[in-house]
Amino acid sequence: MISIAIQQLTKRFGDTVALDRVDLRVEPGEIFFLLGPSGCGKTTLLRHIAGFYLPDSGSILFDGEDVSAVPPHRRNTGMMFQSYALWPHMTVAGNVAFGLEERRVAKPEIERRVTEALASVRMEAYATRKIHQLSGGQQQRVALARALVIRPRCILLDEPLSNLDAKLRLEMRSEIRRVCKESGLTALYVTHDQKEALSISDRMAVLDRGRVAQIGSPQEIYRHPRSRLVADFIGETNFLEGELIAAGPGRARTVRTAAGTFDGILGDPDWDPAPGSTVTLSIRPECWRLEPEAPGTANNPNQVSGQVGECIYLGESAQYVLETAAGTLKIIETNPRFERLPHGSRLLAAARPDDVVILPPAGA
């Protein structure tokens, strides 16, 4: 396993800046995700690490060694593509062995390492089958074994689960994490699937227009986004516009909105808006606690009253659309206590201060 450091990496394609002074570090043995909206630069960054692109400026270091100008075949990285890129005329074992044969590894060593690689992805019983005889999930495992068999310094995965159905994607999430951890591999993984990133990664970077918007653990990114883009991209959230009216200890602040007053915390600890500043509140749908509206409670801090516009009962949860003075809120209640509520029913929604994240306003 190796560390990977990206330092001030910049890449332009004509007038388009694909990567703009990107800085990040991946620790040895870490499963690190790159995600963001289409065109944000995540695949371009992965291809730079693989050696398929040369940067205009900046550097890429493997364990402190600058590999920015080293060709792909000398970087010893394993790459797993979205399309798998398997040879249809070869057997499973032949596909896995291909990289070793190109490296002129001795035949007995090839056979031993192919067997080990297939066992690691639980495909040893399929060694003699052709690719067309496999399911999509099995083909994905073969592609992973082929990337592992060369004993790479790190493994790079470009949306490897996007061609699988929902059930297989769920199964393969845990399999990829298991294989990477058991093999002691440093892994960089590109995806647009937030659930995939949250369930597999040790840390992640959210990119926006070629720049790093935020780096952190799944919990940090989800619970403490530093910008509206990050909050909106990772999971669902409700945005409320307001005015900051007071500062408390640490990152605590008080914000006035059209729906009432909220105590919350700053998403970005380096941002210090002054009282009177326009801000945005981000509150996840599952963070609201619902109660029947009662007289004298609607004006308490961190509470908002409204009427039910829609209620969808899903067994383990219920989804509500609540019409409030500040607009429409989406609320998810786990283990719902209410019967199916008719349209127009009045409810009171409350959120804890540490679930209310204060962000810069839209367009900031």
User: How far, in Å, CA of 206 to CA of 42, rounded?
Assistant: 9
pLDDT at 338 over 90: no
* pLDDT tens by residue, 148-184: 888 888 999 988 887 777 777 887 888 888 888 888 8
Q: Say yes or no: 113 and 176 in one domain.
A: yes
User: How far, in Å, CA of 41 to CA of 85, rounded?
Assistant: 22
Q: Say yes or no: 192 and 134 in one domain.
A: yes
Establish if 275 belongs to a structural domain.
yes
For residue 216, with 0-12 CB atoms within 10 Å meaning exposed, 13-18 middle and 19 or more buried, which class applies? middle
Q: Say yes or no: 91 and 144 in one domain.
A: yes
pLDDT of residue 167: 78
The pTM of this model reads 0.86
Gyration radius of the chain over CA positions: 25
pLDDT at 196 over 70: yes
User: How far, in Å, CA of 48 to CA of 45, rounded?
Assistant: 5
Q: Say yes or no: 219 and 240 in one domain.
A: no
Q: Say yes or no: 242 and 133 in one domain.
A: no
**Residue 197's domain is classified under what CATH number?**
3.40.50.300
Number of helical H runs and strand E runs in the chain: 8, 20
pLDDT of residue 126: 92
Question: How many structural domains is the chain composed of?
Answer: 2
Of residues 23, 25, 32, 19, the one with CA closest to residue 3: 25
pLDDT at 341 over 80: no
Q: Say yes or no: 50 and 111 in one domain.
A: yes
The residues that bridge with 84 in the sheet, in sequence order, are none
- List the 4-13 sheet strands across, edge first: 16-26, 4-13, 57-62, 65-66
Overall average pLDDT of the 313-337 stretch: 88
User: How far, in Å, CA of 288 to CA of 306, rounded?
Assistant: 13
Establish if 230 belongs to a structural domain.
no
pLDDT of residue 162: 79
Q: Say yes or no: 112 and 168 in one domain.
A: yes
Q: Say yes or no: 248 and 127 in one domain.
A: no
* pLDDT tens by residue, 29-59: 999 999 998 889 999 999 999 999 999 999 9
Establish if 16 belongs to a structural domain.
yes
Overall average pLDDT of the 237-259 stretch: 93
Q: What is the mean pLDDT of the chain?
A: 90
Q: Say yes or no: 56 and 196 in one domain.
A: yes
* pLDDT tens by residue, 113-155: 999 889 888 888 999 999 999 888 888 888 888 888 888 889 9
Average the pLDDT over each of 207-216, 287-296, 335-344 and give the range with the smallest value.
Answer: 335-344
Q: Each residue of 88-99: b (16+ CB within 10 Å) or e?
A: eeebbbbbbbbb
Structure tokens at 168: 């297989």
DSSP-derived secondary structure for 301-341: TTEEEEEEEEEEE-SSEEEEEEEETTEEEEEEEES--SPPP
Q: Domain limits at 88? A: 4-223
Name the phi and psi angles at 348, rounded to 5.
-115, 125
Q: Say yes or no: 69 and 142 in one domain.
A: yes
Tokens 């909220």 correspond to 262
Cα torsion through 253, 256, 258, 261, rounded to 10: 70
Q: Say yes or no: 265 and 349 in one domain.
A: yes
User: How far, in Å, CA of 67 to CA of 230, rounded?
Assistant: 31
Most confident of 90-99, 178-187, 212-221: 212-221
- How many CB atoms sit inside 10 A of residue 42's CB? 26
Tokens 């059930």 correspond to 167
User: How far, in Å, CA of 7 to CA of 94, rounded?
Assistant: 38
pLDDT of residue 299: 67
**What's the full length of the chain, in residues?**
364
Query: Where does the pLDDT of residue 339 fall: very low under 50, low under 70, confident under 90, or very high at 90 and above?
Result: low
